[in-house]
Amino acid sequence: MQARPLKIAGAYEFTPKVFGDARGVFVSPYQEDVFTQTVGHALYPVVQSSYSVSRRGVVRGIHFTSVPPGMGKYAFCLRGKAIDYIIDTREGSPTFGMWDSVELDPHSARSVHIPIGVGHLFVAVEDDTTISYLLSTGYVPEREHAIHPLDPELALPFPEDMELILSDRDRAAPTLAEARRMGILPDYAESLRLDALPGKG
């Protein structure tokens, strides 16, 4: 498995070997030894495993969780294709407001690690795009927040050849600057502290 740091501190892309033969393929999207060597600690106790299925053009995000407790994520694509965006929403971070992206699909079997406090979004490039997540905390609605995915200051480069489909929640979400004024963004130092704890909330 190969690891590549992304522009956002603590976020990484992981690309495993894909073993194929006449029967199909076998792949291990998460390998703890490589993850620990790269990040400096194990992933986290997985509290929840989830997946989403999206048609072409669906945008999910930008989502982040209140800190504390925060939520670390490890995401990979089981079917279809997605462009995954990691956005630094941590107040006080040296890369605050910056983003990076990774193309996820089952052929490359790439995965992304989204550390605590960092925002996450993907857009489905194909119908039936299925994204699987390993999560460090369970979903609690009142802890979950969103940034508008079309925030002009972020200027995320979505594919121009598709109609974007947003949820009502994401369509009504504040911009990053508005969320900052509202005081709902995660604190950088606290996010780093929680991300390094053995129990991760």
- Convert the pLDDT of each residue in 144-159 to its tens digit: 999 999 999 999 999 9
Q: Is residue 99 part of a domain?
A: yes
Q: Is residue 151 part of a domain?
A: yes
Question: Which CB contacts under 8 angstroms, 24+ apart, belong to 17-25?
Answer: 18/107, 18/108, 18/109
Q: Which of 51, 85, 120, 133 is catalytic?
A: 133
Asked if 41 is an active-site residue, the reply is no
Q: Is residue 6 part of a domain?
A: no
Asked if 63 is an active-site residue, the reply is yes
Q: Is residue 30 part of a domain?
A: no
Q: Is residue 111 part of a domain?
A: yes
> Which CATH number fits the domain that encloses residue 168?
2.60.120.10
Q: Is residue 63 part of a domain?
A: yes
What is the model's pTM? 0.93
Rounded Cα–Cα distance for residues 125 and 105 (Å): 10
> What is the tens place of the pLDDT at every residue in 99-116?
999 999 999 999 999 999
Confidence band for 200, pLDDT divided at 50, 70 and 90: very low
Determine contact, residues 10/39, Cβ cutoff 8 Å. Answer: yes
User: By 3-state DSSP, what share of the chain in percent is helix, strand and coil, each rounded to 5?
Assistant: 15, 35, 50
How many separate domains does the chain show? Answer: 1
Q: Which of 12, 44, 63, 74 is catalytic?
A: 63
Domain residues for the domain of 161 are 45-195
